[in-house]
């Protein structure tokens, strides 16, 4: 079971590098497990399984419990967006015989980590006639890949004196997507010929794009294209104890949460798993946890139950719910040990990580879990033989981070951050432990059984 689960997890990471790809695969998995679109259901009863999707980038799954919905739900909440580069609306340009794709980075990245590595393009282009073209270039063996160039060390004296935050400007993170052939120096050409020649490489690239995808340059204005590391998830280490992959923050927790719900049965309380977008930029937008998507999805469920809908029933349901904010934590890094309080750090292979509070420095922006709730979880996980560790993100004054927990806590429910340790978090390639993935899966299953 463990080996199969990990191989399926790696396949998920390899195939699902955008929010849309994640939602599509999660819906496929859910429908195979007997889930239906809640909007296609007239009524619901105990044991029914339904899902709700928002803009193809957020999804909520529900297994209806036997007790009244006002008693609350057990919720697993994760996010499926990851740091990356997004393609701008007017992106294609040529500069001195090289053709570039202009980008805008998304989420907290170290910009220098994204240069000189193979990159792929994933996403959609929406035409004015309503048709949608799926784009995925750089993943198949025969595909070309893309790259952001960098200065050779021989000429990098000025660059090497600048800070890491400055020596790769955000506006320099543009993808090389083609090239032309410069004219020989001394060629005698008039201004009109030079002008035509200057844009010839871009025209050739756009002609290729139009031929293969039927896309005009203006169609980039209604596109959603993401630049991600090219390549598949791999085992890391001679003992294969670790996993190297893009997007493990937070798709490690999202995948384990979804699988826990799909493989769980009908309990007293309704089980829910929500996977949202935009966490890496503040949980904003229509598909982020800060939107009304989750509340609206729960309302659709409540409206189809025998008790019927009322605003009070919805509010009681949310306030009486319990949630694990399934999000990752920074793994202790022996090469940078001075950044961590070792006694309160999480270690690769140590099991699922509980963060009582997140936030930064003086707990700014934190969701601080109630100790009574943590005690209940400790009890059930000990009984289930699940390994867990209590930790913080790093030393108090070093920085910090947040999750979707504070958004769920607004409803008055119990919320605790619980996820997988990640080394090299937010890098193009992140490291997790196979053991931790399995322990997180076990913890999520045990949590969903809470009465």
pLDDT, tens digit, for every residue of 50-84?
999 999 999 999 999 999 999 999 999 999 999 99
CATH 3.20.20.140 applies to domain 2-82+246-448? no
As given in the structure block, the two tokens for residue 59 are 């999804």
- 202-220 mean pLDDT: 93
Q: With CA atoms as reference, report the closest residue to 430 among 121, 140, 116, 108.
A: 108
Closest-CA residue to 327 (of 251, 261, 425, 436) = 251
List the chain domain ranges. Answer: 2-82+246-448, 84-229
On the question of pLDDT at 305 being above 60, the answer is yes
- In order of 102, 106, 112, 159, the CA distances from 164 in angstroms are 21, 18, 7, 9
Mean pLDDT of 297-302: 98
- How many Å apart are CA 179 and CA 276, to the nearest integer? 38
Alpha helices by DSSP H, 47-190: 157-161
Q: CA-based Rg of the chain, rounded to a whole angstrom?
A: 24
Q: What pLDDT is attached to residue 77?
A: 97
Q: What is the mean pLDDT of residues 424-443?
A: 98
Beta-ladder partners of 432: 243
pLDDT in tens, 244-293: 999 999 999 999 999 999 999 899 999 999 999 999 999 999 999 999 99
329 beta partners: 421
CA distance 253 to 265: 20
Sign of CA dihedral 190, 193, 195, 197: negative
Region 233-251 average pLDDT: 97
- From residue 62, give the alpha-carbon distance in Å to each of 94, 128, 222, 251, 301: 49, 35, 33, 19, 8
Q: What is the mean pLDDT of the chain?
A: 94
Decide: 314 and 299 in contact? Cβ < 8 Å: yes
d(CA 65, CA 48): 8
Q: What is the pLDDT of residue 1?
A: 44
Q: What is the pLDDT of residues 161-194, one digit of tens each?
A: 999 888 999 999 999 999 998 876 655 565 666 5
Return the CATH architecture of domain 84-229.
Roll (2.30)
């Amino acid at each position: 079971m463990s080996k199969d689960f990990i191989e399926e997890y790696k396949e998920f990471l390899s195939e699902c590098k955008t929010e849309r790809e994640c939602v599509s695969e999660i819906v496929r998995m859910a429908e195979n497990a007997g889930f239906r679109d809640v909007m296609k259901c007239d009524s619901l009863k105990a044991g029914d399984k339904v899902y709700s999707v928002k803009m193809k980038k957020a999804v909520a799954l529900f297994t209806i419990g036997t007790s009244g919905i006002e008693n609350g739900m057990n919720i697993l909440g994760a996010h499926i967006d990851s740091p990356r580069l997004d393609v701008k609306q007017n992106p294609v340009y040529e500069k001195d015989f090289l053709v570039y794709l202009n980008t805008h980075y998304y989420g907290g990245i170290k910009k220098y980590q994204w240069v000189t590595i193979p990159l792929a393009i994933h996403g959609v282009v929406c035409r004015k006639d309503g048709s949608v073209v799926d784009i995925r270039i750089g993943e198949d063996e025969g595909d070309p890949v893309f790259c952001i160039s960098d200065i050779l060390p021989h000429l990098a004296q000025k660059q090497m004196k600048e800070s890491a935050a400055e020596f790769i400007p955000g506006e320099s993170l543009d993808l090389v997507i083609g090239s032309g052939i410069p004219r020989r120096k001394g060629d005698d050409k008039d201004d009109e010929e030079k002008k035509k020649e200057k844009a010839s490489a871009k025209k050739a690239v756009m002609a290729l794009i139009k031929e293969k995808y039927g896309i005009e340059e203006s169609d980039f204005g209604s596109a959603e294209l993401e630049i991600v590391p090219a390549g598949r998830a791999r085992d890391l280490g001679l003992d294969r104890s670790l996993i190297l992959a893009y997007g493990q923050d937070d798709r490690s927790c999202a995948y384990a949460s979804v699988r826990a719900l799909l493989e769980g049965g009908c309990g007293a309380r309704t089980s829910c798993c929500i996977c949202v977008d935009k966490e890496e930029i503040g949980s904003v937008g229509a598909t982020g946890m800060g939107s009304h998507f989750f509340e609206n999805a729960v309302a659709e469920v409540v409206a189809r139950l025998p008790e019927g809908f009322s605003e009070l029933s919805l509010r009681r349901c949310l306030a009486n719910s319990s949630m694990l904010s399934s999000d990752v934590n920074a793994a202790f890094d022996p090469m940078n040990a001075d950044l961590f309080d070792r006694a309160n750090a999480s270690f690769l292979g140590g099991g699922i990580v509980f963060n009582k509070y997140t936030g930064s420095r003086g707990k700014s922006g934190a969701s601080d879990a109630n100790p009574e709730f943590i005690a209940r979880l400790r009890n059930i996980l000990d009984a289930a033989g699940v390994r867990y560790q209590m930790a913080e993100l790093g030393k108090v004054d070093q920085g910090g981070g947040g999750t979707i927990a504070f958004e769920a806590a607004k409803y008055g429910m119990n919320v605790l951050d619980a996820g997988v340790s990640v080394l090299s978090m937010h890098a193009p390639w992140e490291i997790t432990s196979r053991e931790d993935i399995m322990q997180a899966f076990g913890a999520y299953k045990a949590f969903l059984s809470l009465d």
